[in-house]
Amino acid sequence: MRILVTGKNGQLGRSIQNIVNTDTKIGNNQSLNDFIFVGREDLDLSSKSSISYYFSNNDKFDLIINCAAYTQVDRAEQEAELANQINHLAVKQLASIASNKQSRLIHISTDYVFDGESNKLYLETDTPNPINVYSRTKLAGEKALQTVMPMNALIIRTSWVYSEYHNNFVKTMLRLGKERDEVSVVSDQIGSPTYAADLADAILEIIKHKKFRDVAQTTQIYNYSNEGKISWYEFAKEIFKLAEIDCKVSPITTQQYPTPAKRPRNTLMKKDKIVKVFNIKISHWKSSLNTCMTILKKQ
């Protein structure tokens, strides 16, 4: 398969690259050359013509993995049009290109499509109700993709992504923990962190899987995050514990920490579907955080 991966400089894009570069035989004798990684300098999702130009000047891809997105949740409140172009209209265009060329498409979406008011684990079939601009554009992208590409695409909803790369909660806490004696972190938003390397592994497992490769499937949504249930406050405490940083973490409420974009209260997702269909093994958030922190310590 000739595989195009967008968002090469983002957390997930870099994590996929890292695995592909270190494991030259990604199943079924795929070599490094099967993967083409692109950033916004090659394929700018904010521009319809850049997308058309890129695909008309490159040979057909068998699979597109769309890791690029407008991910700045608060800034999206001010940049709704740009967020909508990247997270919705560009996804629709990618789906249309993939459909015309009979390529497959794996697209990444978010737990934030839900309003977070449920006290149960969210299923893929639950009704979304996004509560901020970012999430509305991500949901619009999902819906457009499903309409344009009813077959051969796969949407993975993930949550609280962190990694060794780019900006994320773990790296922010490590920085703040070194600068301050105390940090206040919200304790009433509950979710599951996702180590980008684990999600990258899961994606590479999926594309090796017979069910993905051999059978024309209706487009499906799958939930994926690490196992476990925590608040941002508990997450921060564990980060400092592992990094041996002596910084006090004080729990605060969402109300005490107002942000431009509203955040859902509880976005825990049920992951049985991805586990069952693709035989994906999911690590607990604590062991994955430990792995990431061990790598960060060596940097």
Report the alpha-carbon angle 267-273-279, nearest 5: 125
The span from the CA of 68 to the CA of 83, in Å, is 12
Catalytic annotation, pick one of 70, 112, 122, 134: 134
Residue 158 in contact with ligand NAP, rule: CB under 6 A: yes
Task: Give the nearest distance from C-beta 82 to ligand NAP in angstroms.
Answer: 8
Structure-token pair, residue 182: 């105390």
> Shortest Cβ contact with ligand NAP: which residue?
10
The span from the CA of 133 to the CA of 77, in Å, is 6
Contacting residue, 1, 2, 19, 40, with ligand NAP by CB under 6 A: 40
Q: Which residue has the tokens 């909803």?
A: 157
Residues 55-84 that bind ligand NAP (CB under 6 A): 67-71
Task: Output the DSSP codes for 118-170.
Answer: -SSPBPTTSPP---SHHHHHHHHHHHHHHHH-SBSEEEEEE-SEE-SSSS-HH
Write the interaction track for ligand NAP spanning residues 121-150; mark x where CB under 6 A is met and - where it is not.
-----------------x------------
Task: Output the DSSP codes for 166-220.
Answer: SS-HHHHHHHHHHH-SEEEEE-S-EE--EEHHHHHHHHHHHHHSHHHHTS--B-E
Q: Which residue has the tokens 């265009």?
A: 93
Residue 12 in contact with ligand NAP, rule: CB under 6 A: yes
Q: Is 134 a catalytic residue?
A: yes
Task: Give the nearest distance from C-beta 114 to ligand NAP in angstroms.
Answer: 11
Strand partners, 154: 106, 220
Contacting residue, 20, 83, 86, 239, with ligand NAP by CB under 6 A: 86
Contacting residue, 45, 97, 139, 269, with ligand NAP by CB under 6 A: 45
3-state SS, residue 54: helix
Residue 216 or 265 having the CB closest to ligand NAP: 265
> CB under 6 A: which stretch of 125-133, 155-163, 201-209, 256-264 binds ligand NAP?
155-163
3-state SS, residue 229: coil
Residue 254 in contact with ligand NAP, rule: CB under 6 A: no
Residue 13 or 130 having the CB closest to ligand NAP: 13
- Per the CB < 8 A criterion, the answer to whether 117 and 265 are in contact is yes
Task: Give the nearest distance from C-beta 151 to ligand NAP in angstroms.
Answer: 21
Residue 299's CB is within 10 A of a number of other CB atoms, namely: 5
Residue 160 or 240 having the CB closest to ligand NAP: 160
How many residues bind ligand NAP (CB under 6 A)? The answer is 25
Task: Give the nearest distance from C-beta 102 to ligand NAP in angstroms.
Answer: 24
Amino acid at 231: S
Contacting residue, 3, 4, 10, 17, with ligand NAP by CB under 6 A: 10
Task: Give the nearest distance from C-beta 13 to ligand NAP in angstroms.
Answer: 6
Q: Which residues are catalytic?
A: 134
Binding-site ranges for ligand NAP (CB under 6 A): 7, 9-13, 39-40, 44-46, 67-71, 86, 108, 110, 138, 158-161, 166
